[in-house]
Structure 1
Amino acid sequence: MRLFSNKRLLVVCSLAFLLLVVTACGNDSKETGESTDQDTKGSEVTVEGKKGEVTIPADVERIIAPYHEDALLALGVTPVAKWSIGKMVQDYLEPQLKDVPRIEWNLPQEQVLEQSPDLIVLGSDLASYEGSYEDYQKMAATYAMPEDVSNDWRKQIEVFGKMLGKEDKADEVLAAYDKKVADAKKKLSKTIGDETAAMIWVQGGKYYLFEKDRHSAPVVYDELGINVPPFVESMGKSQAAWNPISMEKLSELKADHVFLLALEGEQGIETLEKSDVWQSIPAAENDQVYIMNDPSFWTNKGLIASEKTIDALVDTLAK
């Protein structure tokens, strides 16, 4: 009987010891897991900007990036203020930014301070801002884009992804965009073949014909493979000053399809409709002139702007 009790005691003690070890291991695992979570939650990132290396704080939330909101929104990030010139904003982004306050395009320092940013993103043309780079640095971490980033919305998404810990998201949205381009290109090649298309921004009664590299034109010609009209080809590369084209010159536009980008009620549209010169171009003769009442995404560059341009082209030409 005593022997049985000793054995029983030994078993109980062994089980107790085993339970103690398992519990301790569980606690260690929990503590290790918590430590790992903290390590991966967010950390500072250093990126190379136009003015040298910039350290971006972990988990930034209040971002000002005037005229580069497209790239932020593509990554699922809403800025604390949006680019504007007076009351003019980027209309195509308003569904996501309608409740976001405006900030003037040249970033007045008082307006920046009002938003208490923890990251300020500037374009490459630093002379266009009211304050100096050093002025903005005193308010928050400030990144000035090198020209190659400022001029390439894909690079903007990649850089923003790195700065904000959203590199996977950046890869995801860029891959989805490339698929969208491939699908649209296939549809358009079947419906319009080797026909040409041109875009004209109609504003204030004047006509601005897109060169093959201005605003959304690279999406149309380079990515979707739509042919460039000979007259547009002859214009060469776009210049900083975008000058209107005369009605007489427009008569040389032998394009099969023409997109007129104009706000509703724009007087220049009525002028074209009454012009014998305009009515003689191939697109007008064949009833292939299309009025687009939201010029904002056509006259911009960005992932969202490009997607909207593709949708408009497919909806219009790939019927």
Structure 2
Amino acid sequence: MTRLLAPSATDRDYWAIVDNLTRRGFFGIGAGVAATAFLAACSSSESATPENAETFEFTRGDEKLIIPTDPQNVVALDPRDGLELSILAGYPVTAYPSGAAEHLRREVPNATGVEIFAEGASDPNFEYISTLGADLLVLSAGWWDTGSYGNDRMQQIAPVLPVGKDFTPEWRKVMVDFLTGIGRSDRAEEVLADYDAHVAQVRPTVEQLMTGKKVAFVAAAEDQIAWFQNDFRTAVAEDLGFEVLREGPDLRVMLGPEQFNRLEEADVIFALDRSATGSVYTSPTWLRLPAAQAGRVIPFDYYKAAGYALTAKVLVDDLAAGVKR
């Protein structure tokens, strides 16, 4: 496999924020503002007016990008926003990163000519990108907006379509706005109807189990816990009828061990461990939490922490299975 691109800049920089705040000891609600501000900077309003033409003008803030109306060779350059929104748009994806989640891989036809390339940890390999014959490159808007990945050079290879807003609880709006902007609003209606039908099927199986109970979403970050209060996961959980434990509007807050008691009201905790130095989930203050003592701390799949209708649908199943344990 050929090295192409680093993992999603939004993912990488988000966790850099978490790690930085951890080291600096910013435990309070204000810590969530920094991550939220970063994510807001990684997105912008999008509008376009495709017509019966080979190309159309796709507008993002001050940017005006010329995009093919009906691309035939689409390369998703990141395994999250770029790949999922390409699939949802009905684009013929001919190459995507090996780091893509399994539930997204299943949506790409395993036909001859579809290339799965290795992700690297450095700058884009423009020479390799140019061999793919793409007529459209799709990647995370958060990645594009950093401006550090050679946007001009990339546009010399093929038109580039920046998409998405990672971790957003407003994933429905972001997805619908994008699909409407490229003239595919019918796709938005179709995938949302499918998602809502799935929620309607699963929700009755968990309502009685979760009546009067609260869920929380956390991740280990060195010797702290990142408590996610308003993101993609919490939005999907609320679609299922779960009551999400939160203290305010921030995307997340950081908790030191002496503050873990703020999670005492959670009956079920979905926990992600991305710590490189060991888990805080074995600390005495964590183990005293009612959810921990009751065995109601459920491992969470990182690749379902953000996304759109396809990821939301499989997340519904994971959340339901978790509370049924």
Query: Normalized against structure 2, the TM-score is what?
Result: 0.64
The one-letter code sitting in structure 2 at the alignment partner of 1:291 is P
The one-letter code sitting in structure 1 at the alignment partner of 2:281 is L
Taking the TM superposition and a 5 Å limit, the aligned residue runs for 1:108-187 are: 108-125=125-142, 126-145=144-163, 153-155=171-173, 157-158=175-176, 161=179, 167-187=185-205
Q: 1:143 deviation in Å?
A: 2.6
Taking the aligned partners of 1:213 and 1:115, their CA distance within structure 2 comes to 38
Residue of structure 2 in register with 1:237 after alignment: 250
Residue of structure 1 in register with 2:73 after alignment: 61
Residue of structure 1 in register with 2:302 after alignment: 295
Taking the aligned partners of 2:169 and 2:268, their CA distance within structure 1 comes to 28
Which digits, 9 at most, give the CA deviation of each residue in 1:126-156, with x for residues without a partner? 34244454433322122334879x9854456
Query: Normalized against structure 1, the TM-score is what?
Result: 0.65
2:317 corresponds to 1:311? yes
Q: CA 1:272–1:124 in 2, change beyond 3 Å: closer, same or farther?
A: closer
Does the CA-based 8 Å contact 1:198-1:259 persist in structure 2?
A: yes
Q: CA 1:144–1:164 in 2, change beyond 3 Å: closer, same or farther?
A: closer
Q: 1:173 deviation in Å?
A: 1.6
Residue of structure 2 in register with 1:71 after alignment: 85
**Number of matched residues?**
260
Taking the aligned partners of 1:183 and 1:110, their CA distance within structure 2 comes to 48
Identity %: 19
- Richer in helix (by share): 1
Taking the aligned partners of 2:196 and 2:104, their CA distance within structure 1 comes to 24
Taking the aligned partners of 1:131 and 1:245, their CA distance within structure 2 comes to 33
Q: 1:258 deviation in Å?
A: 0.9
Q: CA 1:272–1:147 in 2, change beyond 3 Å: closer, same or farther?
A: closer
Taking the aligned partners of 1:206 and 1:83, their CA distance within structure 2 comes to 31
Residue of structure 1 in register with 2:270 after alignment: 259
Q: 1:172 deviation in Å?
A: 1.7
Instruction: Say what the alpha-carbon RMSD is for the aligned residues.
Output: 3.8
* Counterpart secondary structure, 2:208: helix
Q: 1:100 deviation in Å?
A: 1.1
The one-letter code sitting in structure 1 at the alignment partner of 2:54 is E
Residue of structure 2 in register with 1:36 after alignment: none
Taking the aligned partners of 1:146 and 1:310, their CA distance within structure 2 comes to 21
Q: 1:288 deviation in Å?
A: 2.0
Taking the aligned partners of 2:288 and 2:117, their CA distance within structure 1 comes to 46
Q: CA 1:296–1:124 in 2, change beyond 3 Å: closer, same or farther?
A: closer
Q: 1:59 deviation in Å?
A: 4.0
Taking the aligned partners of 2:132 and 2:147, their CA distance within structure 1 comes to 17
Taking the aligned partners of 1:75 and 1:313, their CA distance within structure 2 comes to 26
5+ long unaligned stretches in structure 2: 1-51
Taking the aligned partners of 1:264 and 1:237, their CA distance within structure 2 comes to 22
- Richer in strand (by share): 2
* Counterpart secondary structure, 1:308: helix
* Counterpart secondary structure, 2:141: coil
